[in-house]
Structure 1
Amino acid sequence: MTAIQEPTSPVAAYDQPYDYTRVELIEPDWRRFPGWHDVTEAQWRDAQWQRVHCIRNAKQLRALMGDQLEERFYEDMLADQREMATMSMLLPPQMINTMAPNAGTDPAKVTEAWYADPIRRYMLPVRSDRDTEWPSHPHSERDSLHEAEMWVVEGLTHRYPTKVLAEMISTCPQYCGHCTRMDLVGNSTEQIEKHKLSLKPVDRQDAMIEYLKKTPGVRDVVVSGGDVANVPWPQLESFLMRLMDIDTVRDIRLATKALAALPQHWIQPKVVEGLERVAGTAQRRGINLAIHTHVNHAQSVTPLVAEAARTALDVGVRDVRNQGVLMKGVNATPADLLDLCFALQGEANILPYYFYMCDMIPNAEHWRVSVHEAQELQHAIMGYLPGYATPRIVCDVPYVGKRWVHQLHEYDRELGISYWTKNYRTGIEHEDPEALQRRYPYYDPISTLPEAGQRWWRDQPPMA
C-alpha cells in the first residue's frame, strides 16, 4: 500500500530574479512640452514635420521646454559640447518624447528625471555623465573598428569573408552620443573634425556594385551609413535593386535606427510602397531581406515604432531585428535588458538579436562595461525569452569582429585585458601568415578594475 506523505512544513516561496509582467505600449503625450502644446496627431505622424522640428542646440531645447528644465542642466550640456562631445546634437521629437515621460512639469522634478533618464543618457550627454579620471581609455580610437582601413572602395568595408558593410551616407536623422562611426558620421564638434566621404553618391554606389560583381565570395550586404533613412528613397531603392541583380548576393540587411527614432519615415506611403517593391523582388529571387534597428531601452518602444516594424513585415520584409548597445546607465542590468527584449519581441514584432558592448571610442568610458560584467548579464537573461529571441551579447574586437562574450581566449581581470582569436582573415590580412595565430587584445574600462589594476594603468606612460 502506498501512502501520500503530507509535507511536514510549508514550502518557502522564493521570488524569481526577474518577474515578467506584460506592459502594453504607449505613445507619451508630446503636448506636455510647452513648445509642442498645440501639435496635432497628424503633424506628429508626419515625417517631414519630425525632421524640421529636430532639436539641434540649446536655444531650441529651451524653446521646447519652457521653464521645465533648470539652468544647471543647460550649463552641464553646453560644457559637454565644448569639452567632450564626439557627436553633434540632433534629436527628433519622437526621441525626446520618450525621455522622462512621467516627470510632470515641476522644474526640479523634471530636471532630476532628465538627469536619470536612460535615453537622455546616451542621446544627450552632459558633462557630469563622463568619467572624471578616465573619460577615454588609453587605447581608444576614433575609428575603433578600423572600418575605413578595410574599405575596398570608399565606404565599402570588407571585414568578414562573406559579408560587407556598405556605408551609403554619413548622416542620420538622429545622432547617438556613443556612435561607433563618430570619425565619419555627423557634423564636426568642438573636439572632433570629422572625415568626409569624397566621392559623389552615384560614383560611390557604382564602385560598390562593381566590386560585388567581381567578388562572388560575398553573399551578405549590410546597407548602412549613417542611416539609410537619410538616403533619398529612389536612390536607395535603385541601389537595392542593383544589389539583387547580383546572383551571389543572398542576404541584404538595412540598418536604420530611425525605425525607432523616426518611425514616421518608415510609415510614409512612398517609402512603404517602395519597400514593398524591394521586398517582392527579394522574395521572388530567394533573397533574405531584413531591417536591423537600434533600440537601447524599453521606453523607446512605442505604438508608432511597432506600427513601423509591422508595416515592414506586412509588405514582405523577412525580419525586423534589433542590435542594441550595452551601456551603463542605460540598459546594463538584467531587468532593463529583459524589459526591452519583451517590449521588442512581444509588443512590436522586433527580434532581439545582438547587444554590442560599447566600442572604445574617445570619451565613452562612462558607458562601457567590462567583459566579465557582460558575461554576467548574458547569464542573467537566459531562460526567460524564447530561444530564438534571446539576444547574444557580443564584443566587437578590433581586427577580429564580433565575438560572444564567453569566447575569449584569455583574460587578465586585474589589468582588464582580454585576448581573442579568430578563424578568418579580414580584408587587409590576406598576406599576413600570423593573422589566425595572433591574440587580439580588448580592454575593460579602467574604472571597473581593482585598485591594483587601476594603479598599473596610472603608471603607464601616455600613449603616443
Structure 2
Amino acid sequence: MTTFSDSRASDRSPAAASPQSGDPAVAAADPQRLTTPRALVEAGLAPPAALAGLEAVAQRYAIGLTPALRRLIDPTDPGDPIARQFVPDPRELRRDPAELDDPIGDDARSPIEGLVHRYPDRVLIKLVAVCAVYCRFCFRRERIGPGAGRLSAAAFAAALDYVRARPQIWEVILTGGDPLTLSPRRVAQATAAIAAIGHVRTIRWHTRLPVAAPERITPALARALAASDRTVVVAIHANHPRELTAEARAACRRLTARGLLLVSQTVLLKGVNDDVEVLDALMRAFVEARIKPYYLHHGDLAPGAAHWRTSIAEGQALMRGLRARLSGLALPTYVLDIPGGHGKVPIEDRSLRPDGQGGYWVADPAGVERPYRDRLA
C-alpha cells in the first residue's frame, strides 16, 4: 500500500479549528506569514478601527498572507488589487440567497473520501485542506483552513484503487487547499504512486505557491513533481499582473526546467482584474513566464463573495476586448462552473449566427460581422 500521510483529515471546519491559530506546517515554512486580523493591522494593511469587523470574519474564514504578496500591497491605496484578494472584508459575512457552501458541487461528485469524479476521463484528489495564502473569494472556503488536515494514507490508497479500477481515467488532478504546501518527499510519493497507474498519462497540480511563496518552489520540489514517462502539468493561479514578480517568474523557470507544462487559472474579480488593460497585461505576463493562459473563471457562488463577482455580460465584453488585442496563444477560455457539480462550460458569446440563407455572419476580432458561406452545408 502506498504511504502518503501520517495524519487523518480532520472533520473540523476552519471556523471550529480557529483560523487565527495558523497552519502549523505552513507557518513552520514561513514564520513571517500574516494569519490574524491583529497582524494585518500591525502591518498597516487595515486600520485599527476595522479590527473588530475583521475578527468577526476570522472566526469563520481562514486568513493567510505570505511576505511575497505582502510586499506587493500598497497600503495607501484603498482599492489595492492584491490587498482586495487577501485582506478580509466584513462583507464576507453577508450571504446572498443564491450562494452555496459547495458552489461547484464537489460533494455531489465525490464517490469516496477526497476524490471528485466529475468528468469521465479525469478525477480530482484533494490532498490537503490548507493553503499558504487564503483567497477571500475561495469556492472551497467553507472546508479550507487550519485544522482541516490532509488526506490520510488510507484515503489516498483508496483513491488510487478507485483510479486503477477505471481505465477510462486518463488524468489525475491534485488539489486541495494547495497541494504544493506538502514537502517535496510527499509530493514525490504522490507523483510516483499516480505515475505507476498505466492508463493515467497526465498528472496535474493546482497551486498558488509560485506567486504566493516563490522561494518554496525549490529544485527539489520541481524534481518531485516530474515523472519521466508522464505529462505533468502545473496550473498556476494568479489574478493580477503584479503577482508575476521576478521571483515568481524564476520559480516558474525552475518548474519548466524539469519539463513541466505550465497553464494558468484566473478568477474574474471586481476591483481586481475586471478591466481589459489589466487582463491584457496579465495574459501577456503569463506567456512571458512560459505559462499558457488556460481558464478565466467566472466568479463562483461562494458564500460572502458577491462583492467580487461581475455579471456574465461584463465578462463576455472583457473577452471581446481581449480577443481584439491578443493572439490565440495568450487568450484564456472564459468558463462557468455550473452549480451542482455539472462541470465547466465556455460562456463567451458566439461568434457565429445564421444569416437565414444557409450561411453565417461571423464576428471578427474587432466585433464587425462578416459574411461566410459554408459550401459543404
The TM-score, its normalising length taken from structure 1, stands at: 0.66
The structure with the larger Rg is 1
What one-letter code is carried by the residue in structure 2 that aligns with 1:54? R
Report the Cα distance in structure 2 between the residues aligned to 1:236 and 1:303, rounded to whole angstroms.
Answer: 25
Structure 1 residues 55-204: aligned runs within 5 Å: 55-65=34-44, 73-76=47-50, 78-83=52-57, 87-100=61-74, 110-111=75-76, 113=77, 115-127=78-90, 130=91, 135-187=94-146, 196=148, 201-204=152-155
Name the SS of the counterpart of 2:319 in structure 1: helix
Closer, same or farther: CA 235–211 of 1 in aligned 2, 3 Å? same
2:157 to 206, 220, 242: 206
Secondary structure of the equivalent of 1:90?
Answer: coil
- Structure 2, gaps ≥5 residues long: 1-25, 351-377
What's the CA shift for 1:204?
A: 1.5
Cα pair 1:341 1:352 within 8 Å, conserved: yes
Alpha carbons of structure 1 residues 142 and 84: separation in structure 2 relative to 1, 3 Å: farther
Aligned-CA RMSD value: 2.4
* Equivalent position SS for 1:152: coil
Within 2, Cα distance between the matches of 1:289 and 1:183? 29
The C-alpha deviation readout for 1:371-390, integer Å capped at 9, x for no partner, is 11111111111032221221
Distance 1:391 1:300, change over 3 A: same
The structure-2 alpha-carbon separation of the partners of 1:77 and 1:381, relative to structure 1 and needing over 3 Å to count, comes to farther
8 Å Cα contact 1:77/1:126 also seen in 2: no
Q: Secondary structure at the match of 1:221?
A: strand
Residue equivalent to 2:15: none
Conserved? CA contact 2:114–2:127, under 8 Å = yes
2:13 aligned partner:
none
Per the TM alignment, residue 62 of structure 1 is displaced from its structure 2 partner at its CA by 4.3
Aligned partners of 2:343 and 2:246: how far apart in 1? Answer: 34
Query: Distance in 1 between the 2:95 and 2:142 partners?
Result: 15
Q: Helix, strand or coil: the match of 2:136?
A: coil
| CA-CA distance at 1:403 after TM superposition | 1.0
Alignment of 1:325-404 (within 5 A): 325-346=267-288, 348-398=289-339, 399-404=341-346
The sequence identity of aligned pairs, in percent, is 27
Q: Distance in 2 between matches of 1:83 and 1:51?
A: 23
Output aligned runs, 1:208-287, within 5 Å: 208-266=159-217, 268-275=218-225, 278-279=226-227, 281=228, 285=229, 287=230
Q: 1:309 to 1:149 in 2, by over 3 A?
A: same
Residue of structure 2 in register with 1:456 after alignment: none
State the distance in 1 between where 2:311 and 2:134 align. 25
Does the Cα contact within 8 Å between 1:142 and 1:361 map onto a contact in 2?
yes
TM-score under structure 2 length normalisation: 0.80
Partner of 1:288: 231
For 1:64 and 1:139, the matched residues in 2 are separated by 35
Q: In the alignment, which residue of structure 2 is the partner of 1:38?
A: none
Give, in angstroms, the shift of residue 85 of structure 1. 7.4
Letter of the 2:271 counterpart: G
Note the C-alpha offset of 1:297.
0.4
Whole-Å Cα distance in 1 between the matches of residues 346 and 64 of structure 2?
Answer: 32
Provide closer, same or farther for how the CA distance between residues 77 and 354 of structure 1 changes in structure 2, counting only shifts above 3 A: farther
Q: Which amino acid counterpart does residue 142 of structure 1 have in structure 2? A: D
Does structure 2 retain, via aligned residues, the 8 Å contact 1:87–1:187?
no
The alpha-carbon distance between structure 1 residues 117 and 61, as it changes in their structure 2 partners (threshold 3 A), is: same
Alignment length, in residue pairs? 324
Q: Does the 8 A contact of 2:219 with 2:254 survive in 1?
A: no
Question: SS of the residue aligned with 1:236?
Answer: helix
Whole-angstrom CA distance in 2 between matches of 1:391 and 1:200? 32
Greater RCO (Cα-Cα under 8 Å, separation 6 or more): 2
362 and 48 in structure 1: CA distance in 2 versus 1, 3 angstrom threshold: closer
Instruction: Report if the CA contact (8 A) 2:205-2:235 is conserved.
Output: yes
